[in-house]
Amino acid sequence: MRLSDPKTIKEVLTKNGFQFKKSLGQNFLINPSVCPKMADNAVANGEEAVIEIGPGIGVLTAELAKRAKNVVCIEIDERLRPVLSETLAEFDNVEVIFGDCMKLDIAAIIEERFKGKKVSVCANLPYYITSPIIMMLLESRLPITSVTVMVQKEAADRICAKVGSRESGAVTVAVNYYCQPEVLFNVSRGSFMPPPNVDSSVIGLNIRPFPPVKLTDEKGFFRFVRSAFGQRRKTLVNSASSDGRFTKDAVRQALQEANLPETVRAEALTMDELANVFSALK
Ligand code: SAM
């Protein structure tokens, strides 16, 4: 079955009485060149198993199933059950779990099925929940090698910005703590059915074996980072004190201890500098 062919998609969906739900971010890929490239990246390090989030009608799933020994998909929309049974009928190495990826225990899914195997995650993510899914995957420290995901271009640029550059934000720091992100390629809005209002990019997140900085209080650090980047135009003294956890004087003193100017903004600081300021604050 040519699952990126709009005619085939319409036929399968109509037969099963399926209508797209915008609230679930259902924009299905119809550009045939995208999924093979995503799937190649997902198994580039010899991964045997891939977890896919949101298979839709299975266009990316089929490419993953051709390359990996096993594929487990997590799909929230039960209406896709008959559709996926039909579109993935030729593959005996695919399992679809119906549920919300934010609520399922993905670590347990990997432990039960793929213990000791090289596993990666691959997905064309629903736009309404992109960052929470990425952070959930990274923060739960899953035993995975990489995450290959399609996200809005703007989100990709922010995630893959250099920490310490004008384009960076709290999400840049958080993602870079767990992995090395890179933009792999861009995908135009016309590559989807129905087309979204924005262009997309596929990014690769290569999981780091060790974080780039040593932190004694990760939770506290990320809370500090969120408030530091919360008001981007303000200096760190003003933004990092805005949630009431640290006084302006304390931030000023921490900057001095870290040999940084009092007027500095969060976006100008490297990961090491952010960690130094936080540890001086503590
Ligand atoms: N992989 C397909 C493709 O590339 O054409 C579909 C991608 S579509 C952008 C996002 C998919 O994620 C939809 O199938 C949607 O139903 C599913 N989805 C949305 N929220 C989800 C969640 N919380 N957990 C699991 N799947 C979800």
Alpha-carbon span 241 to 94, nearest angstrom = 50
Q: Tell the burial category of 116 from Cβ atoms under 10 Å away from its Cβ (0-12, 13-18, 19+).
A: exposed
In this predicted model, what pLDDT tens digit does every residue of 210-246 receive, in sequence order?
999 999 999 999 999 999 999 888 999 999 999 899 9
Instruction: Give the residue whose CA is nearest to atom 2 of ligand 1.
Output: 56
pLDDT at 252: 97
pLDDT at 233: 85
Q: Report how far ligand 1's centroid is from the alpha carbon of 234 (Å).
A: 37
For the CA of 34, the closest atom of ligand 1 is: 4
> Is 181 a pocket residue for ligand 1 (Cβ < 6 Å)?
no
| Whether residue 20 has pLDDT greater than 90 | yes
The pLDDT mean for the chain works out to 96
Sheet holding 49-53, edge to edge: 94-98, 70-75, 49-53, 119-124, 146-152, 200-207, 179-187
pLDDT at 143: 97
Instruction: Give the pTM.
Output: 0.95
pLDDT at 55: 98
> Is 56 a pocket residue for ligand 1 (Cβ < 6 Å)?
yes
Mutate to test the pocket of ligand 1, among 124, 151, 200 (most ligand atoms within 8 A of CB): 124
> Is 74 a pocket residue for ligand 1 (Cβ < 6 Å)?
yes
> Is 65 a pocket residue for ligand 1 (Cβ < 6 Å)?
no
> Is 178 a pocket residue for ligand 1 (Cβ < 6 Å)?
no
In this predicted model, what pLDDT tens digit does every residue of 61-86 receive, in sequence order?
999 999 999 999 999 999 999 999 99
Give the side-chain half-sphere CA count within 13 A for 132. 8
In this predicted model, what pLDDT tens digit does every residue of 120-161 receive, in sequence order?
999 999 999 999 999 999 999 999 999 999 999 999 999 999
Mutate to test the pocket of ligand 1, among 1, 5, 26, 27 (most ligand atoms within 8 A of CB): 26
> Is 97 a pocket residue for ligand 1 (Cβ < 6 Å)?
no
Q: Is 259 left (phi over 0), alpha (psi -120 to 50) or beta?
A: left
Band of residue 3 on the pLDDT scale cut at 50, 70, 90: very high
> Is 192 a pocket residue for ligand 1 (Cβ < 6 Å)?
no
Q: Which domains does the chain have, with CATH numbers?
A: 6-207 (3.40.50.150), 218-281 (1.10.8.100)
In this predicted model, what pLDDT tens digit does every residue of 170-217 receive, in sequence order?
999 999 999 999 999 999 999 999 999 999 999 999 999 999 999 999
> Is 106 a pocket residue for ligand 1 (Cβ < 6 Å)?
no
> Is 124 a pocket residue for ligand 1 (Cβ < 6 Å)?
yes
| Whether residue 282 has pLDDT greater than 90 | no
pLDDT at 35: 98
In this predicted model, what pLDDT tens digit does every residue of 247-258 receive, in sequence order?
999 999 999 999
Q: Report how far ligand 1's centroid is from the alpha carbon of 22 (Å).
A: 11
Alpha-carbon span 221 to 238, nearest angstrom = 17
Residue holding tokens 């089929």?
62
> Is 136 a pocket residue for ligand 1 (Cβ < 6 Å)?
no
pLDDT at 261: 97
> Is 58 a pocket residue for ligand 1 (Cβ < 6 Å)?
no
